[in-house]
Structure 1
Amino acid sequence: MATALVSSASGLIAMLHEPHPALKLHALTNINTFVDIFWHEISTDITSLESLYEDDSFDQRPLAALVVSKVFYHLGEPNESLLYALRAQSLFDVSEDSEYTHTLLAKAIDEYASLRTRAAESNASTVTVDPRLEAIVERMLEKCIVDGKYQQALGIALECRRLDKLEESIMRSDNVMGMLTYCMSISQTFVNQRKYRHEVLKILVKIYQSLPSPDYLSISQCLMFLDDPGTVASMLEILLKGDKDANLLGYQVAFDLYENERQPFLLKVRDHLPEARVLTPLEVPEGATNSSQDPENVMEHTPASMEIAEDGNQPSEVQTVGHHGNAVDNEEARKYAEKLAKLKKILTGETPIHLTLQFLYGHNRSDILILKTIKQSVELRNSVCHSATIYANALMHAGTTVDTFLRENLDWLSRATNWAKFSATAGLGVIHRGHLQQGRSLMAPYLPQNGATSGGSPYSEGGALYALGLIHANHGEGIKQFLIESLKNTNNEVIQHGACLGLGLAALGTADEEIYDDIKGVVYTDSAVAGEAAGISMGLLMVGTKSDKAEEMLTYAHDTNHEKITRGLALGIALTVYGREEDADTLIEQMTRDQNPILRYGGMYALALAYRGTANNKAIRRLLHFAVSDVSDDVRRTAVLALGFVLYSEPEQTPRIVSLLSESYNAHVRYGAALAVGISCAGTGLPEAISLLEPLTSDVVDFVRQGALIAMAMVLIQTTEAREPRVGSFRRQLEKIILDKHEDTMSKMGAILATGILDAGGRNVTIALQSRTKHDRITAVIGMAVFSQFWYWYPLIYFVSLSFSPTAFIGLNHDLNMPKFTFLSEAKSSMFGYPPPTAPPVAASAIKLPTAVLSTSARAKARAKKESDMKHATEKSILEESSQPTTHTNGAIRASKAGKEERKDDDAMQVDSPAEKKTEVEHPSGELLHNPARVVPAQEKYIKFLDGSRYVPLKTAPSGFVMLKDLEPSEPEVLVSSDAPASSAPGSTSSGQAVQSNMVAEEEPQPPQPFEYVA
């Protein structure tokens, strides 16, 4: 009741001037109670309050400081308010639920975080942190932990660089694993400085390793970012020496590391692993003990040197010597050597690439009729559209090894000349990508012989070397030497061009000094054609190293008079700072301030790649500044395009950020906006992205339409019409543009490329710049960056294939075989299924005239119908007995004879077999999928693993390579059998054009059915 009677604070203010301390304390206490109501009156005499705080004889100075702080808060002076709140010491209650407290706490945390950051950057030499401010932040952190707000405490600790409190908030939480996962996620998203992020990851590794059951999958990801291959190798050794479950986990770790595509790191891990040495019976030391009765003996002795015989025979005796020189049981050592060999095949990519090839080949659903329609609509004299059709075919069949379209159209293909021939040959590298063992034999008809020209076209030979690089991209150990010899032994600039591109792809990120010197020699020849490829290749080789080589490249870029070389070197320099973030700022500043617009253009790529996927505000602001202010259209276009690389981790932001730029008066800016959305939102089917791109596909400028069509295809890849109705209208729009003879060449080329991207990889791949663990796929990001250079050089279109990621679930057992395994997709098959095949065009006739029918014709038709029925019955019988997939590419059903004899009717594995379709229809919740299965990204949230299944996935990820734990190991396993692509002998035509086919050889045609001759 007393508070209701107070209508003014003037009396309390007057009491502050009384000499007696008790009166001052009474006034001050009541003013603190009413300050939120009468602050406007109190503020007129704030000097009295400040002098009261400064009076050393007044024993309630903190209370005076608190009142002053509240007054300054209401006056809109947050800095002064915080200063006096610090002076109030413990009277500033962090648990008080008021706007004043919340505002000052946020201000205190921001100030503290800023000071800590500056102190870290300057090694604490010039920046000091007020201990009172630190005390407030620590009280806030302690309150969050006590109240159970662990994520909030972790976020504050992370922002304030308090790693001790970060560790405490994780360890004191009620869900340590959940907190570790959360910390891993936000450290990758919100920590802007690379060095500090590494410090956080070290803390996470420490916590992971201290747990009773360490999460090896997460530890390995952290160690990969910390570039610690030795620790990863040691961890894998421990897992290989464990039981079967531990072995499975080791294989899963290797597969997860492989998916991040960091070739140099994986090779270092492999090299840190031990090797095995085979001992003949004569070499077995006397007294070697058999430790089979002591299984722990194997765990105690680390194999130091192991090697398996290369002749394929089982060694009679295998010995591994431990640290103490004790002989380990031969059988256990042999098993360990086998497991080690399997692990290394995963790390080098041999196993995952082979499995991916099998999947893409067996599930290929490319529609050849689409390509035939494009081919027929392209005018023979239009070389751009002719080449675009070849590009589209390569992208459509990327990784499937199916080159039927090329083999069936040799005469049409032979019309390609000069650089078009270069591109046509290089396209085989996209189709056969991953065929590491047979890559060189596949391209043999076109390759230079012994490093010199073989008398054939230099364009074919250069294209073949480029194709080898595409086949062995990021896995080029077996082909590097051949490419080096081919580069050294030719002076032809076209062959040098192809060899440089191929070598850069094969040796991606390895920073090999010898290869660098060879490529640098090509640059110094000052040949425009070869120099451009060499500049890009140097960047590919030195990806992410940020070495002194970048300065060397920049110096030559200033010296040369060839724009092509300058442009190649500008992109190459940008590649060297990939992922370096703030470490690249000096070089970026140097490039973006250069007078040469080509180097400023390279600076935009450097910004994009240095801050790829970070959504860094500083990088976004700089790119937007150049997008609207630079005098060069090339620089402005690239600055907008680069936003797509910075924002691909947060695709929903991109349409909002570039929406105004997409309406710019400058056509180059509109083109850049379209590509930025395409890159950032690739594979998402994001409605906002589609809405932004739709008007651009009808832009008044031809190259803007081209960019918008390509970007739209990138966004809509693997999106069905059931999920997004605009997919159907977009496909019809592409068809209309391609068939329209009056459409300009640029738009038509864009439509043809968009068609190829939309159905890429036999409709079994998406464009993904991030791995399934949400880390950047270095090969994919680099491939997309170089692909965007096709504005200047069409053959670089093939680099987009590096960003393709198979949308597959591939479950593997302990032997790395695919067992029969069924799981559920809780969605209709039409929601994520393949698009229906294109129907052949039917010629319309104005008037249907009666046709005379002869008796012989009637009998011929009857015979044809009978033969057709018999053939259909035969095919149906084969299909029911076989689990082999049908392919739309060749219309034939391939079935292994051995598989027919061994498999029973109920062992059908493929999704498109009749038995499985029946099962899917009968299942009430959706459709049953069978290992290996196509699972598109949007479908993953609908995937459920069935209870009571024999196999349990080692991790819950519904896609990618997943190890399966066998709950019934004593029972015989039923394995999935599928046609694997195999290399066939090179073929050639009389005109000298050779086209390599890597499909399984066609079976011998069946003899014709018996017939009666009717006169």
Structure 2
Amino acid sequence: MDKVHYILTGEPSIEIYLQFLYNASNTDPLILEKLKEQVANGKSVLHSGVVFANSLMCAGTTSDAFLHDNMEWLSKATHWARFNATASLGVIHKGHLSEGLSLLAPYLPAAGQAAGSPYSEGGALYGLGIINANHGAGVSKYLLNALRAAGGDEVVLHGAALGLGVASMATHDNEAYTALFDLLNHDQAVAGEAAGVGMGLVMLGSADADVLGRMLAYARQTQHEKIIRGVAMGIALLNYGREERADVLIDELMRDKDALLRYGGMYTIAMAYCGTSNNRAVRKLLRIAVSDVSDDVRRAAVTALGFVLFREPTQIPKVVSLLSASYNPHVRHGAAMALGIGCAGTALPAAVELLEPLLDDTTDFVRQGALIALAMVLVQSNEKAVPKVTAIREKFLTIIGDKHEDVMAKFGALLAAGIIDAGGRNVTISCLSRDGHNSMSAIVGLALFTQFWYWYPYIHMISLAFLPTAVIGLDANLQLPVFSFKSNAPPSAFAYPPRTKVPEAKEATRVDTYVLSVTSKAKARGKDTNNAPEPGADAGAAADADAPAPMDTTSDDSEAKPAPAGGDNDDAAATSSDPSTDPAPKPEPAFELLENPARVTLPQAAVIDLSADARYTPVKASSAHAGISGIILLEDSTPDLAAEYVQPKAADAGDDADDGDEPPMPEPFEWIDE
């Protein structure tokens, strides 16, 4: 029972996936270096874009080598860019529950010491919450104390409020809620926005009437738009999964004269009816999408369609096809985000076809939304499954390097480059769990991620929607036995995308010199008159001297001369050019054997067969929804035989560099002061 209780805490699963993401990471460091080079002299927002891309590419892998190798470049980040860079450590080390505090200790507020940068401290508190997202029992008290000790520093308060909300998600902790509500009453714009979102995260899905009444009353009396927006999102989170029970509040918000509260009403529909495909909810959203006077509300209404319909991804392109061609750019952006959220990880051709034209939209933020949505749809796709994916990846890099492209589109391309290779290319984005249930943390993470429109720190929230894709077999002792299993598909069908190759240095080659006829003639005219022909000399020779010389195209390279016709070389050339003599390529096998643990994408899960190894069999039959995926408990048919176990490397608590063997300690010596 102790083991069962330990499993139900969720910590063993988090630790196992953390080890897998660390050991199987396939991040391409050359892509990051290329992104850095292309924005080296760009604006600070593009500098932050590379930091975001790195954190998404390395999310959960604990690989922070890029940050360590570019400390001088990263030091250019100031103010909120520094906040985001520090918080990105939380995304990279997400799930490292046991080491979270020690990892971020250099940046966290230290009692009794001189205060450091408030942006680093606030970012570290936010990052600590992300590391412990939805499993914050070990750090919630620390974050609560940090919130109370922050004084009036809005930046630190902002990070502490967001961190506390993410770590205490859905705990309904009254102490945390009270502290956040007290912060809201300070009426500070930046801190108040985080307090509103934090309250919604802590009380997620509770729909507590007292809490809702307080938050709604405060939103109507404050003058800060940031606070109203934060409280509106908090109200939406409180109604997560409530469906018809939230209708009275939804109708009240939809009729409100404040556009920000109507905006919150759209996200309340998204959260209350997430994954239900409810016709009434869809009709409400479509009506607001074409009738509201506020562009923000219309954009939110279209985006919310992705949350309501994500269980039926094939229906989303049909619903938003006309909206993606709307005259209003905000509606077009919302259509792109709805496709990205509802069709995430599916590589759905209909979604790609709608998004591709938006890459050339006349409005920069529409292009930004299309880039991000394409990356969400095509995450973990290779050229075998989606032939367009290589061209789309190249499009991301082309936009980033284009000097004439708008900054907003470049920033979207940077985020897209990070999302499409997220988690070391070993995670996908999904609003569903492996068993087909709604994933609460993923839905909430994507809802808050879309708020990056107003506030870039919310970009980190997309990491809550990352789902590791693997088959990891465990025995009764929760250890990883060595065994093989079969994937009944060609290896290329689900392989990693090819890594970027280092361009080869080209050797300088000699260029043939060509002599023009006019040059020869000029040289001939410039000859000394003493060299004129004797009288009576052959007139034909003189005529030849004055005639234009033919262009000399003879190369000094003797290998370039053609071989004599009919010789042995001609036969050899004919033989080598005959395709019938070339060795035939080996046919690709129809299956491959994978070793435990192994990367298995969600589409690949349907073709996995664990019967290849007769010793270990799954305790539970796979579900029709997921196939064979995730952590699989195995039954050992021959427990009397000694088992061999996989020995994965423990996830790093620091950088990813391999320092090699440590040198031996020096021999004892005495210091002589001369």
TM-score, structure 2 normalization:
0.85
**Residue 475 of structure 1, CA deviation:** 0.3
Q: Does 1:372 align with 2:33?
A: yes
| AA at the equivalent of 2:379 | I
Give the Cα separation in 2 of the matches to 1:592 and 1:615.
Answer: 20
Whether the 8 Å CA contact 2:189–2:226 is kept in 1: the answer is yes
1:512 aligns with 2:184: no
From 80, 87, 93, the equivalent of 1:426 is 87
Deviations 1:816-871 (A, max 9, x none): 00111211111111110111110123466886589xxxxxxxxxxxxxxxxxxxxx
Report the AA paired with residue 621 of structure 2: T
What's the CA shift for 1:1001?
Answer: 5.6
The change in CA–CA distance for 1:437 and 1:604 in structure 2 (over 3 A counts) is same
**Any stretches of 5+ residues in structure 2 without a counterpart?**
513-585, 623-627, 665-674
Please give the residue correspondences for 1:521-920 in structure 2 after superposition, counting only pairs within 5 Å: 521-548=182-209, 549-842=211-504
Q: 1:439 & 1:383 partners in 2: Cα distance? A: 28
Q: Matched residues in 2 for 1:521 and 1:366: separation?
A: 43
- Name the counterpart of 1:927: 592
Match of 2:123 among 463, 468, 486: 463
Could you tell me how far 1:567 is from its partner in structure 2?
0.2
Secondary structure class of the residue paired with 1:946 = helix
CA distance in 2 between counterparts of 1:843 and 1:519 reads: 58
Equivalent residue number for residue 661 of structure 2: 1004
- The structure with the larger Rg is 1
Q: Residue 480 in 1 paired to residue 150 in 2?
A: no
Report the residue type matching 2:614 in the other structure.
S
Structure 1 residue runs without a partner (length 5+): 1-339, 851-920, 984-996, 1008-1015
Which one has the bigger helix percentage?
1
Distance 1:591 1:845, change over 3 A: farther
For 1:970, the equivalent position in structure 2 comes to 640
Deviations 1:405-442 (A, max 9, x none): 00000010000000000000000000000111110010
**Higher RCO structure, 1 or 2 (CA under 8 Å, sep 6+):** 2
- Equivalenced residues, count: 584
1:951 aligns with 2:613: no
Aligned-residue offset at 1:698: 1.2
Q: Which residue of 1 aligns with 2:46?
A: 385
1:561 Cα deviation from its structure 2 partner: 0.2
Question: In structure 1, which of residues 344, 364, 368 is the aligned counterpart of residue 5 of structure 2?
Answer: 344
Distance 2:232 2:52 in 1: 26
Distance 1:773 1:814 in 2: 22
User: What's the TM-score once normalised by structure 1's chain length?
Assistant: 0.56
- CA-based RMSD of the aligned residues comes to 1.8
| 1:437 aligned residue | 98
What secondary structure sits across from 1:534 in the alignment? helix
Q: Does 1:403 align with 2:49?
A: no
User: Is the partner of 2:237 in helix, strand or coil?
Assistant: helix
Q: Given that residues 764 and 934 in structure 1 are in contact (C-alpha distance below 8 angstroms), is that contact kept between their aligned partners in structure 2?
A: yes
Give, as a single letter, the amino acid of the residue that structure 2 aligns with 1:836. Answer: P
Task: For 1:519, give the aligned amino acid.
Answer: L
Q: Does structure 2 conserve the Cα–Cα contact (< 8 Å) formed by 1:571 and 1:605?
A: yes
Q: How far apart are the structure 1 equivalents of 2:242 and 2:189?
A: 30
Contact 2:143 2:160 in 1 (8 A): yes
Alpha-carbon distance between aligned partners in 1 of 2:54 and 2:652, rounded to the nearest angstrom: 20
Where do residues 57-456 of structure 1 align in structure 2 (5 Å cutoff)? Answer: 340-450=1-111, 454-456=114-116
Cα 1:948–1:820 shift into 2, 3 Å: closer
- 2: distance between equivalents of 1:934 and 1:753? 24
Find the aligned partners of 1:501 and 1:791 in 2 and give their Cα distance.
17
- Is 2:607 the counterpart of 1:942? yes
Residues 764-787 of structure 1 deviation map (CA, whole Å, 9 limit, x = unaligned) = 000011011111010000000000
Task: Give the Cα separation in 2 of the matches to 1:552 and 1:479.
Answer: 27
Match of 2:314, SS?
A: helix
Aligned counterparts of 1:569 and 1:832: Cα–Cα separation in 2: 43
Q: How big is the shift at 1:729?
A: 0.9
SS at match of 2:240: coil
Counterpart in the other structure of 1:297? none
State the shift of 1:1004 in Å: 2.4
Q: Whole-Å Cα distance in 2 between the matches of residues 787 and 535 of structure 1?
A: 16
SS class of match (1:578): coil
SS of the residue 2:276 aligns to: coil
- Give the CA deviation at 1:342: 2.2
The SS at the match of 1:810 is: strand
Instruction: Report if the CA contact (8 A) 2:65-2:655 is conserved.
Output: no
1:533 maps to a residue whose letter is A
Q: Residues 848 and 536 from structure 1, CA distance in 2 versus in 1: closer, same or farther, beyond 3 angstroms?
A: farther
Rate the CA distance shift 1:1002–1:501 in 2: closer, same or farther, 3 A: same
Cα displacement string for residues 462-509 of structure 1 (whole angstroms, at most 9, x for unaligned residues): 000000000000000000111011000112000000000000001000
Asked if the contact 1:981–1:998 (Cα under 8 Å) also holds between the matched residues in 2, the reply is: no
- Structure 1 residues 923 and 929: alpha-carbon distance in aligned structure 2, compared to 1, 3 A threshold: farther
Q: Aligned with 2:471: secondary structure?
A: strand
Q: Is the 8 A contact 2:63 2:652 kept in 1?
A: no
Pairwise CA distance, 1:946: 2.4
Separation in 1 of the partners of 2:64 and 2:317?
Answer: 37
Question: 1:345 corresponds to which letter in structure 2?
Answer: Y
